[in-house]
Each structure stands twice: as structure tokens, then as C-alpha cells.
Structure 1
């Protein structure tokens, strides 16, 4: 925090005004359309980019959810391939941890910049071939105790100069994205067990409990889940307690991991 305040104290009145507008607009974001407009607005002055990927979850267990935001045609979460994108996100996360969880940039030719060869034929893979640099930074979401990683890709060579801005703006980037429901993609955000009614009975979980675990898996809090489903927070907590007992786990993340393991064995 001291570092950020020191940075801000050196800025001109023009830059302070721009930062103020960016931060104020971030707080008002509630839909993907508004998020995209905010990302393409004055934020571009400090973080020039064409593609933003937010990733969260348990990276140690390789349970990663993500959302892609871009103005480029076809670059959408629902059109992505988790099997090819997840290794890239895992590699970028590992590098971030190795660097002491500080922001960093990579350029064309740097290890870990692109998707694996099999992923280059998808729309995202083709778009990444036109990018020149990426910038990575992250934080721990105190609401869900999950690591959150933010990666921006730019066709320009300016992102190294954006490291300081990323440190200042990351909390507001996180705020804006946390206020928007992640878009669905094939593996992680699609409803679990929608075509497997017997599996819920096998676990002893109700349809509502499976629905709640879908939202837990993408990082929603009990309060957010209650609001989305139109039930009380107390009801959400009761359902989760039954889920924990049925799966013989003690925490939300353990439940997510257990369900993922059961699904994998059953696939």
C-alpha cells in the first residue's frame, strides 16, 4: 500500500484525475458489456491490451476457472478450450509465484508465452500469435481464499512500462470482474451433472446442492449465491454443511476437489 501511495504522490494532476475516473467507473461495473467498455476506455492508457484473461481457483490441484474478455471477434470464454488453455495459465501462475508474486511481463519467444501447439488452431490461439507482450499479476481473493491471476495480452511492446500501473489498478480490476458473473465455457462453468441425474443420488446431494456447488466452484460467496438463487444465506450454509458431510470434507475447496475427482472417475 505504501508503494502505491508513493507512486500516486509523484503523479501529475492530469494522471490523478484519470486514475480517479478509472477507479470510479470500475465500481459501477455490473455486466460484461460495461466491463468491456471500461477495459477499452481510459484504462487502455495505462494497460494497453486486446485480451484479458482472469483465472482463479486451486492452481496447486489444477482446478482452474477462467473468464476471457476481449473486443476481438471470436475471442470469448465459451469458444475456448480448457484442455489447451489451462496449462498456459498454470505455467504463468507458477512463474508469478517463483517471482515472489510480483507483476511481470513476457515477450514473444519467452518460455510459456503461447498455448501448446495443439491449442494454436483455436480462435484464442490464433489471436495470441499476433500478440507481442503479456503482463501477469495476481492476488488472493479474501472472500473465497482462492488465488486470482490476471493476464493482459497486447500487440504492442509497451507492457513493461505498465508494471507500476498494474500494481495500482489490480484491486479495481479485481473489483470490476468480481461484480460480473463469469461466462460459461465447456468444462468449468457449465452446470455440473445436467445430463447425469443419477450421480447426484450417488453422492447423496440434492439438485439444489449441486447447483450451489457450481457457484462455489467459480468463486461465489455464500451471500452472492443466496442472491443469485433467491434463498437465504442461512439456507446456503445448511446446504453446504450437508455437502461437506456427504463428501466427508471440511472446506469448500475440498468439496470442489472431491467432486472434480468423482466426475473424472465417472467420465
Structure 2
């Protein structure tokens, strides 16, 4: 699907939302903040199920990949996307490079898909009918970024391509700040304090290990209703609906540091 953003126009409400999204991007320093921005302000513009963010030397396909999902992404799907040999992400990067480094829109519902039918079929096999991808225009060594918006809730259009062009610098810099913060060793310490209490992390750890509320209560020396209350607080803080989603988001945000489980 080729893009032509020449005639895309944003109304006053869109422009206000765009400014707010850009301003919020400037606040992103940690993994938790990036996740909340991507699933909040950014989600309001480009609705998606999962966001894969690759960073590194894009030309040489020497990439590290992060996944930010509003649900629990299965290990099978994540492996199909990120496999370095023939995963979907490196194939999407190659398609983007060959297409002129402009936003690329893929859909199982038609459009200009010449030479991309197998790629689209494989994306659909993972449950993604609509996908949009884009990366930074200027790639310098290890500072390139590439983003895959998978599981969009609508057929991607020129509007989505235009928004990706506008937001790409902010996405790239927010991801870069998050990486630099983690490289300094400070982000892992900040995230649990910012979102969950030590007790909530302990409860979530045992949920991840398949324990019931009664079993968790026995392990931690608290009552089952107290365990339930902690879980309800966790789900509200992470904006999820069930235990599995809470475990999935905590893994994405790296909330369960070993030092908080004792």
C-alpha cells in the first residue's frame, strides 16, 4: 500500500492532541513511562495491539527489540516477529528500506501489495490483519530506530502514514532516552517504586508462578482477601482486566526485580 500524505489535514482537536502527545513524549525517561505514553497518548492517534521497537544499526540488521503490548503477547508470536534469521521484523525493515524509508502500510484487505503477499500472509497468521511501520529517516550507526504497529483496529490509511511521519522523531528520542537510562542502571530501580509497591510485586510474582490467592496468602503470611485487594490495585495501576494481562504488562515493564521479592 503506497502512501501519499499531500492532502491529509488535521482538525483543531487533532492538532491539540498532537501537541499533547509530543509534550508527553518529552517526559519519557524510563520503560514504564514509555509504555504508558505508547498505550495512552500515542494509542489515541495510532490504535494498535502491540508495538515492537527495534534499535541499533538498521542497515546491517544488528537490532535489539522491545515489545510494548496492551495484552499478553504469546512467546510464539514474539519469536515469529523477532527471529533474527527470518522473523517478521527484519523482513518488515527490509521492505521499508526497499520502499524508500517512508511509512509502510500493510493489510490483508487489499491495496498495493505486489511482492508483499507472503509477508502479509505471515502477519495475518500471527493475528495481525493491519500493520503500519516506520523508522527514522537519518540512521547513524547504532542510533537507528524502527517501529512496528501491529494489530491496528482499522485499515491503515494516508492519515496513519502522515501521523507516523510527524511522530517519528519523538518516538525515536523517547526510545533513545529510555535505552540510555537503562544503560546507566537507574531505570530498573525506578520502575517498581513508580508503579507498584513491594508487596504488590511479591503478589504478582506468585501469580506469575501459578499460585492461587489462598496459596499466595500462605506464602506471604496474609489473608486471601488481602491478596485479592493487592491484585485489584495492581490491575488498576496497570490498566488491565485480569491476572494474565497484569503478568504480561509487568514483564514488559520489568517490574519484578529480584530485590523486591524477598
| Shorter-chain TM band | 0.5 to 0.7
Contact 1:52–1:68 (CA under 8 A) maintained in structure 2: yes
Residue equivalent to 2:165 = 167
Distance 1:29 1:111, change over 3 A: same
In structure 2, distance between residues paired with 1:86 and 1:58: 17
Residue equivalent to 1:130 = 127
3-state DSSP of counterpart to 2:136: strand
Residue equivalent to 1:65 = 64
Distance 1:179 1:50, change over 3 A: same
Residue 92 of structure 1 deviates from its aligned partner by 0.9
Distance 1:45 1:32, change over 3 A: same
Contact 2:48–2:152 (CA under 8 A) maintained in structure 1: yes
Residue equivalent to 2:212 = none
Give 5+ residue unaligned stretches, structure 1.
116-124, 182-219, 231-267
The answer to whether the aligner puts 1:228 opposite 2:228 as a matched pair is no
Q: 1:158 aligned to 155, 158, 167, which one?
A: 155
RMSD: 3.6
The answer to whether the aligner puts 1:31 opposite 2:30 as a matched pair is yes
Contact 1:30–1:176 (CA under 8 A) maintained in structure 2: yes
TM-score (norm 1): 0.54
Counterparts of residues 1-267 of structure 1 (less than 5 Å): 10-74=9-73, 80=79, 82-83=82-83, 87-108=87-108, 110-113=117-120, 129-140=126-137, 144=141, 146-160=143-157, 161-181=159-179, 228=184
Contact 1:36–1:71 (CA under 8 A) maintained in structure 2: no
Distance 1:85 1:152, change over 3 A: farther
TM-score (norm 2): 0.55
Residue 39 of structure 1 deviates from its aligned partner by 1.3
